[in-house]
Amino acid sequence: MRRLEYKNALITEATCGQGVAEAARFIEEGATVVLADVLDDPGKQTAARSMKEDGTGSIINISSVAGLSGAPIYHAYGATKWAVRGMTESAAMELAPHGVRVNSVHPSIIDTEMLKPFGSNIETIERRIPLGRVAEATEVAEVVLFLASDEASDCTGHKFVVDGAKVA
């Protein structure tokens, strides 16, 4: 049986980068996938309510390593990622009694369209990552897939980092 057989997934921002990779992996593993806009709050609330009623589910919020440590110059971006982290932890405590797990994934620099403006400066960026390279969107998708699966049945309220040891 595939890892997400008979499971439903709501994936926001699935039109580019990480969202595309996550949606593709979920479909490969048997999930029924609904794509939504990040601003579709009623849809997310409906999904959470349905999970509570079913007594099972997994919510995975995508944040950033900017939600784990300070980021000079990028104050607003960092603040939003810290907020995702805080909401994840609060929701995990609120929903755990209903069998719903909530975790966050904190990637560093990922090879997506967002990197194109850096052009040839990518080598400079890679030198600041201990593994010496940026991650692929598919690598983040594998972490998200694990968290959505029953293999992560005891994981809730945690931060999963995909960063090549950048914030270690």
The pLDDT score that the predictor gives to residue 120 is 76
Dihedral (C-alpha) 141, 67, 79, 20: value to the nearest 10 degrees?
-10
Q: What is residue 33's predicted lDDT score, i.e. its pLDDT? A: 87
Q: What is the pLDDT of residue 15?
A: 76
Element (H, E) at 10: strand 8-12
Q: CA 96, CA 9: separation in Å to the nearest integer?
A: 18
Catalytic residue list contains 74: no
pLDDT recorded at residue 156? 97
Element (H, E) at 11: strand 8-12
Closest CA to 20 of 115, 138, 127, 122: 138
Q: E-assigned strands of 50-155?
A: 57-62, 100-107, 110-111, 135-136
Q: What is the pLDDT of residue 127?
A: 92
Which is catalytic among the residues 5, 37, 74, 77? Answer: 77
Paired residues of 107 in beta bridges: 162
Q: Has this prediction a pTM greater than 0.75?
A: yes
pLDDT along the chain (168 residues), means of 10: 89 82 94 74 75 91 92 90 93 94 94 83 90 96 96 97 95
Domains and their CATH numbers in the chain: 8-161 (3.40.50.720)
